[in-house]
Every structure is written in structure tokens, then in C-alpha cells.
Structure 1
């Protein structure tokens, strides 16, 4: 089973956001464990929440009276700075927003958000459930989280793991309606049960009034200059560390910035036309392009096996409004793209940062083993495969073959994304990954 890791997360409830840490399940001495930064001793198990990543990092440096103190990688986590314990977008859970999500029509972002939110609710319940389990007279199904258990038992909740396809068509629409009904019936009780186990005092280090509102937390960024224990402050203090792996402080300063609200607003149009904006980051820079699938084969904005990249959404839109011929011209919905004023803004699932993977591998090989898992490979490799398919890059296929170290690592990432990367594994993968990135870069053309 995977080596243990620790993930920074944020929870929003009652219009306030708290930061904490979660250790996903790992195996030790033949038993499976998982835990949150909290305390399960006493009558009521609690998860400690903190008003800022700075406060969370400060607590981690000074306290060992919690359930993660004996975690195998805690000594490393205890030395991390605020940026390193700032959760990425995939680990922010808005419990307040569930009603709004189910009230709208389903799309892949709504389904993914609900699946993630329900999962973290279930994880908290599992870790904080103190119902007796050793009395033969007790009901085996008794739990301190009855509403959580009832919600998780709904078949519509199980459908969330299948993605948006489970909610397409008449049967899918009916399932979405039933899911909304379950939320209306149970969610208020679910959050009440959870909130009884959420410690908004940060183990006595904070006041509930210190917590930012949901809107404020979206723009709150830890200041590395205030973190005296960090040996290497981030180069760009305006950006929190964006990582694909637990507690890894790998930043991506070359990413094209976009307001999340604007991205969400634009997503409906691009999903509707079936042509999606994509960001690719390689050593030469970050660029935007467009991609669709024709009979399950990827097709990009480009020609003759070359993919056109643009430095900004505005430049990409200007090109789409022009009359230059390319491989998307014949797509039936292209006239809508050529005529729209909706900027091509990629969602997180369509961003492929190939540079970050190389940096992560180098960091792990240099001693960060135990902090990064195989999931760091999954999304970038999806983009790589699409680019290689379109451009006919046979060398990429060879590097990702099942018999190669890189291919075996990718296969494990798809099968067991939580499996930790070992230093010796990363050292073997660094060279092939760098070659793969160089090969992909030959098919990318940055347009003015």
C-alpha cells in the first residue's frame, strides 16, 4: 500500500473558512489508518481548524498534542511554512455551497465538487465517530453520524463517482433530481453533525471571530516574509504554492492566470460547443490552445501535426476570429467559436503543467520522498497522450510503454494514485520525463 502522506485542506461552513491537515488512509503494521489534525481522545473527537495557513503552520511547528504527531512524515510537515500548508483548489471544500450546486443543472465541475465534498464529509465522520464498537449488545450499524451515513448510502451519491455521464439523459436527470431531494432532506443535519466535531478555536490558539468569510478566504495568501522558519521563501509572494501532491511546495509562476468566477462562467459555452480551451506549460513557456475529440481521437487547434499556442486568452480569441485555415475549421461547431465573445479560459482539469512534474520528480529524488504521490503524473500524462496522438509523436508512445519505468509509474498512478513516490523511483523517472517533455515541445508552436 502507499506510503503515508499529509494533505492541507480548507473547509467552509457558516460563511467562515478554516484550514487543517488530513492524512489519507495508509497501512502501518498490517492496519489501515487515516487521521485529521485533531484529537480523538476524550468524549468528543475533534478536527482542529485554523483561520489562516500561517496559524496552521505555526501550530504544526510548536504542538505535538494531536492525532498526527505519530504520523510517519510529521517531522517533515512540522518544518513547513505557510505556503506549503496552503491547500490547492482540489482540496477546498465548501459545505455551504452544496445547496447551490444541486440547484443548478449538472456539469462535470458540479459532479466533481459534490463528490469531493461528500467524500471529505464521510472521512471526517469516519475519523471522529466515537460510537461504541466493542459492545456485543450494541447495534453494529450505530454511529454518531446518522445523517452522514444515511446520505452516503443514497445510490445517487454513489453515482457521483462515475462522473457527469451518470447524470446525462432522462435517467440521469431524474437521478440528479433525487440527489437534490436527498440534500434538501439531509444536508442541514449532516453539517450539524460535522460541526459538533470541528474545533474552530485551533486547539485554543484562535478565536472564532478570526476566521475569514468564504469570499475573503478566496484571496487570502500567506506572506512568506512573515514565516521566519522558511529557509527558501517563494519567489512570487502573490501566488500560493500550487501543487499536485500533498505538502509539496512546487509553484508554477508561468501559469496563465484567470479569475475562477470568469472560468466557471465561460465553461458553459465551451462545453456546449465541444471544443475546450487547454493550457500547456513547457520549459519554453505557458500557452493556450483548443482541443476537441473526433471519433475519440484528439484534435487540436493547429495544422500538419503542430499545435498552436497563444500567450493569452485574448490572443487565442483573436486568432479564432480570423480566417487562417487549421484542423478545427471543419468541426461543425467551429463557426460558434469563431463568432463568440466568450474568452477561452481553461478549467483546472484542462491544464497540463509538464514543467511542474519535472520539478516534483527532482524534489522527490532530492529527499522529499513521502510527501508526493503518483497522482502528480495522472493529469499531465493525459495531456501528453493527447498531444502525442495528434502530432504523431511515436517516441512519446515508446517512453510511456508498459515495459518502461515511466510507463509503469503512470500505470500505477492510474491504478493507485495515492501511492507515494520514493526517492529511488523519482531518480529513475527524471531523465525519461525530461525527454518526453522535449519531444512534446517539438510539436508546439508559439504564435504571436
Structure 2
């Protein structure tokens, strides 16, 4: 739920994307109100932010002028009509959020769509949409967030929301379509629209410059806060990697060249060690491996020869496979998807570096495993697919993927 008084919003309806202003619920003289930019008869929507800006710059009579925060909003810069990403509401696309699992993104996007749709229905008296929200109490829990669907009955309830939406959403959207009036470009002064476009572009450039400066400052602070970035490894771009798998842990090194992974190893064999000390000693005595050709490898060697090299693994480069197969067998809610995503990243990196098609071949031979991974890891490839028990075949396929990785290790 937003705390800002008046918001620029972008909404997707049947005929396309439109822009307007929305004032979520506020209290005045003991009563609750909500409003959109409109006249006495309709909620007004516009084809572009510049048309919206031209309208509010030239029109003094509309439904928001009496809002207690209107003057404050209207005194802001010309970018006040530009919605942020979170102020985009894909109303017509709501069923797509329900096609995937109840992730944070899917639930939060759907919750915001429900919020603005219900508000638009109430303000514009869109009867069918009002009836829809009043008739289905199951919709109310969406605002509680993804944690609400993490419990034993979470997936079942999420599917229930999906059934309600799929059966009724077309009628809801049609009702909202009829509740708004698209202001035709011909109704607006062309010179005012052109001037608004120019001022918005200037505001966007100013915003981009400010955002860039803020990002630079944040990156500088992050670099200062993380000593690893200033270590030999951070400067060289070569990272110690820890892999915990099937009850054991091994260590190796990895970098990326032009986006492609390169491991400490040769001919598809990853050189692995039981401890960071073993790895550090080996580096001093061996140079026949793929990393020796990396331009910054000499920096690592120089630090090692000077006795200044400490092999330390950054948390981002620690991969644990332990328990994933067992959790897969239990069900989707038991799996730590962050852990699984990192582990799959390492599997893919190792296969890419080794130029080994065994991982791809396994997945091609098990298309449901591909769908399962896409679903669990939030890929769009999983649209419409929901895993169902039993999951033993998925656990076995994952274990086979682990075995492929272990076979690439020099020692395990």
C-alpha cells in the first residue's frame, strides 16, 4: 500500500496503456475518500504522460483540485506525471501473475493490480468489477504477501485465486474499460502537449543524472563496506569457490571472460582441493591450467610468492547442494529456491566451461525436469506449469546432475 497522497499511474486495459493520476484512500472530516483524475462523469485517462501534463497544466476544474494535497503535488517538477515501475498496473495481464508460483514478485504485482482495480471500480461505479471484488473473499488474502502462501495450504489457495480470476477477469476488465474515458489527443492544445513533452524529457534527463550519481555513491559505499572487493581476488576478478555437496566440501577457483566461466582446471576437469590451504600451496607450484592464461593470474601469483595471498571465499561464491535432493522429494515448499538457484548456476557454469552437453542432454531427455526448474527458479518458460507430487523423479534427476558435477572434480 502506497503512502503518497497523489500518484501518477500507468494502467493496462483492453485498448492499451494509459496514464492518469490516482489518489488512494485519504481521510477528511472523519470520512474516507479516494479519487482519480476525472470530470464529473468519468475517470480520465491519457495516451501519454505529456498529454496528461498538458491537461493538468491547462485545466483548473477536475476531481482532484479539492484534494488536500493537490497544490503540493502540482508544485512538483514536470516529472510528477511519470510513473515509476511500481506505479505500473497491468490490469489486463493479471492472470499471468497467477500462472506462476506465489513468489514475492507475482503476489505483490497481483496485490497492486487488485488494489487499483478495486479503487477504480468504486470511484467510477464499475458495477461488474465491484460485484467481483465483493463476491470473492479469497481475493483479500493476496494483500498479505507471498508469506501467506508459504504454508501447507498455500498453493491450493493460490490456485483458488487463479480459478476465480480466470473465470471472471475478462468481465472485470470490460467493466473497467467502460468506466474510463480516453481523452483524445484532438481535445488538447497541440502546442501545450509539445511543450509538456520537452519539459518531461528535460526532467527525465535530470532524474537519470541524479539516479546515476546516487548509484555511483551507493557503489562506492558498497566497495568501502566489502573488503573482499579490495583483496587480491577482488582486484583480479578471480574468485575462490567453495562447493559443499553430498556431505563434503571442496575448493577451487573461477573467473569469467567475456561472460563465459573459466575454472581452475584443464580439459574439462576442475581441480579441487579439500581446504583453502591445500589450494593456496598448489597455486605456488603449478601453472598448467586454464586460469594461467588469464591476464590477472600473474597478480595472484605475485601475491602468493610474496606470502600475501589468503584464500578466502566470499559468501556469494559458496555453493551448497546439501539437502536439495531430499527437499525436492518433500515438495515445492520445502525447497530453498535461492540455494537451488545458486547450485544450478554452478552446474551450468561447469558444463559450459567443460563444453560438455551432458547437462543439456539430461534436461532434454527430462522435459518435466526443465519445467520444474523453470517453475522453481521463476523462469517465464514455466508459464502455465505447476509441479505436482510425487517428486521422486525430480529428486533423482537433481542427484544425477550433482553426480555429473562431481565427476568433473579432480578430487572428491
- In the superposition, the TM-score normalised over structure 2's length comes to 0.52
Indicate if the aligned counterparts of 2:5 and 2:23 stay in contact, CA closer than 8 A.
Answer: yes
Of 180, 187, 198, the match for 2:162: 180
Q: Tell me: CA distance 1:189–1:223, structure 2 relative to 1, closer, same or farther (3 Å).
A: same
Structure 1, residues 254-301: CA drift from partner, whole Å, max 9, x if none? Answer: 466xxxxxxxxxxxxxxxxxxxxxxxx74664759xxxxxxxxxxxxx
- Tell me by how many angstroms 1:198 deviates: 0.9
Q: Which sections of structure 2, spanning at least 5 residues, go unmatched? A: 242-253, 256-310, 321-338, 351-412
Instruction: Please give the secondary structure, in 1, of the residue aligned with 2:20.
Output: strand
- Residue 195 of structure 2 corresponds to residue 236 of structure 1: no
CA deviations over 1:63-82 (Å, ceiling 9, x no partner): 02211011223234334454
- The question of 1:106 aligning with 2:102 is answered yes
For residue 353 of structure 2, what is the aligned residue in structure 1? none
Could you list the per-position Cα deviations for residues 97-125 of structure 1 after superposition, in whole angstroms to 9, with x for gaps in the alignment? 11222122331111111100011001112
Q: State yes or no: 1:227 paired with 2:199.
A: yes
Q: RMSD of aligned C-alpha atoms?
A: 4.1
Q: Are positions 1:48 and 2:44 aligned together?
A: yes
Query: Taking structure 1 as reference, are residues 65 and 224 closer, same or farther at Cα in structure 2, changes over 3 Å only?
Result: closer
**Aligned-partner SS, 1:104:** coil
CA distance in 2, matches of 1:78, 1:24: 16
Residues in 2 aligned to 1:187 and 1:309: alpha-carbon distance in whole angstroms: 50
Instruction: Return the offset for 1:49.
Output: 0.7
Aligned CA distance change for structure 1 residues 223 and 159 (closer, same or farther; 3 Å)? farther
Larger radius of gyration between Structure 1 and Structure 2: 2
Q: Is the 8 A contact 2:102 2:158 kept in 1?
A: yes
Confirm or deny: 8 A CA contact 1:12 1:93 kept in the other structure: yes
Classify 1:223/1:201 alpha carbon distance in 2 versus 1 (closer, same or farther; 3 Å): closer
Query: 1:236–1:146: structure 2 CA closer, same or farther, 3 Å change rule?
Result: closer
In 2, Cα distance between equivalents of 1:114 and 1:317:
40
| Residue in structure 1 matching 2:74, options 78, 90, 99 | 78
Conserved? CA contact 1:57–1:78, under 8 Å: no
Deviations 1:190-229 (A, max 9, x none): 111111111112697369xx9xxxxxxxxxxx9987129x
Partners of 2:319 and 2:111 in 1: CA distance: 33
- Contact 1:10–1:20 (Cα < 8 Å) also in 2: yes
Deviation at 1:336, TM superposition (A): 4.5
8 A Cα contact 1:21 1:36, kept in partner? yes
In the alignment, the residues of structure 2 paired with residue 192 and residue 53 of structure 1 have an alpha-carbon distance, to the nearest angstrom, of: 24
| 8 Å CA contact 2:122, 2:130 repeated in 1 | no
Q: Secondary structure at the match of 2:163?
A: helix
How far 1:146 sits from its partner (Å)? 3.6
Q: 2:174 matched to 1:192? A: yes
Q: State the match for 2:21 in structure 1.
A: 21
1:166 & 1:336 partners in 2: Cα distance?
27
For residues 373-424 of structure 1, give each alpha carbon's deviation from its aligned partner in whole angstroms, at most 9, with x where no partner exists: xxxxxxxxxxxxxxxxxxxxxxxxxxxxxxxxxxxxxxxxxxxxxxxxxxxx
Where 1:236 maps in the other structure, the secondary structure is helix
Equivalent in 132, 136, 139 of residue 150 of structure 1:
132
Give deviations 1:319-373, integer Å, cap 9, x for gaps: 574574234555624655555569xxxxxxxxxxxxxxxxxxxxxxxxxxxxxxx
Which one of 135, 148, 156 corresponds to residue 166 of structure 1? 148
Q: For residue 211 of structure 2, what is the aligned residue in structure 1?
A: 252
Select the structure that is richer in helix: 2
3-state SS in 1 of match to 2:174:
helix
In 2, are the aligned partners of 1:147 and 1:186 still within 8 Å (CA)? no
2:25 is paired with a residue of what secondary structure? strand
8 A Cα contact 1:25 1:32, kept in partner? yes
Give the conservation status (yes or no) of the 8 Å contact 1:50–1:206. no
1:326 alignment counterpart: 314
Residue 317 (structure 1) shift: 9.0
Q: Offset of 1:188 from its aligned partner?
A: 1.0
1:327-346 map, 5 Å: 327=315, 332=320, 333=339, 336-338=344-346
When residues 82 and 152 of structure 1 are mapped into structure 2, their CA distance, relative to the original with a 3 A threshold, is farther
**Closer/same/farther in 2, CA of residues 34 and 286 from structure 1, 3 Å limit:** farther
Cα separation, partners in 2 of 1:31 and 1:169, compared to 1, 3 Å: closer
Quote how far apart the aligned CAs of 1:30 are.
2.6
Q: Secondary structure at the match of 2:47?
A: coil
Secondary structure, aligned partner of 1:66: coil
CA contact (8 A) 2:78 2:203 kept: no
The Cα of 1:157 is off from its aligned counterpart by 1.3
State the SS of the aligned residue for 1:96: coil
Contact 1:34 1:127 in 2 (8 A): yes
**What corresponds to 2:8 in structure 1?**
8
1: distance between equivalents of 2:42 and 2:211? Answer: 34
Tell me if the contact between 1:54 and 1:81 (Cα under 8 Å) persists in the aligned partners. Answer: no
TM-score (norm 1): 0.48
The aligned residue for residue 201 of structure 1 is 183
Q: Return 198-207 or 75-84, whichever deviates more.
A: 198-207
Measured in 2, the distance between the counterparts of 1:285 and 1:38 equals 45
1:128: which partner in 2? Answer: 124
